[in-house]
């Protein structure tokens, strides 16, 4: 999980300038054509979401908690929903970045929840086994003490 967050954090930080440049180019084309489309603002928002999420993934890569994953899912989900409302037929690359953000944000959150659930199950099973072993050993010791008397 640590390596995945590190790689995704770096990848998202590297991709954010590319998304920003594409958004600026779309804005320039929209202003030259005077078509009134606003897909460039969605791309700029998505670039901001990518850089913030990348920083959060790098900052929380060693954490076992869900806080960073929840924050990134919310950031990428909300900004993705805002950005998808501004997309047009001409902004197909923005749709790809939005869906990639959804997959990364919610995919990592779900993956982290499943890993935590499996770890908790295995810990509770091992704790129960240890309790049973301790109890059975305690009984035999008390039985041995009563036999000695």
Domain that holds residue 37: 2-121
pLDDT reported for residue 58 = 93
Residue 38 lies in a domain: yes
Residue 34 lies in a domain: yes
pLDDT reported for residue 138 = 55
Residue 117 lies in a domain: yes
Residue 142 lies in a domain: no
Residue 128 lies in a domain: no
Residue 147 lies in a domain: no
pLDDT reported for residue 146 = 61
pLDDT reported for residue 102 = 92
pLDDT reported for residue 131 = 53
Query: Mean pLDDT per segment of 10 residues, for the chain of length 149 residues?
Result: 88 93 84 74 89 93 86 92 80 85 91 83 64 54 57
Residue 17 lies in a domain: yes
| Strand ranges, E, within 41-81 | none
pLDDT reported for residue 68 = 87
Output DSSP code: residue 29.
H
Q: How many structural domains comprise the chain?
A: 1
Residue 145 lies in a domain: no
Residues 6+ apart with CB under 8 A from 46: 19, 23, 79, 80, 83, 94, 97, 98, 101
């Amino acid at each position: 999980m640590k390596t995945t967050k590190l790689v995704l954090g770096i990848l998202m930080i590297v991709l954010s300038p590319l998304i920003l440049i594409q958004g600026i180019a779309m804005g320039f084309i929209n202003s030259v054509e005077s078509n009134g489309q606003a897909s460039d603002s969605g791309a700029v928002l998505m670039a901001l979401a990518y850089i913030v999420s990348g920083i959060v993934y790098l900052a929380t890569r060693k954490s076992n908690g869900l806080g960073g994953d929840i924050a990134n899912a919310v950031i990428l989900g909300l900004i993705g929903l805002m950005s998808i409302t501004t997309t047009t037929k001409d902004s197909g690359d923005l749709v790809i970045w939005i869906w990639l953000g959804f997959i990364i944000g919610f995919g990592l959150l779900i993956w982290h929840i499943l890993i935590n659930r499996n770890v908790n199950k295995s810990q509770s099973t091992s704790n129960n086994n240890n309790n049973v072993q301790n109890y059975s050993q305690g009984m035999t010791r008390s039985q041995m003490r009563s036999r000695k008397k």
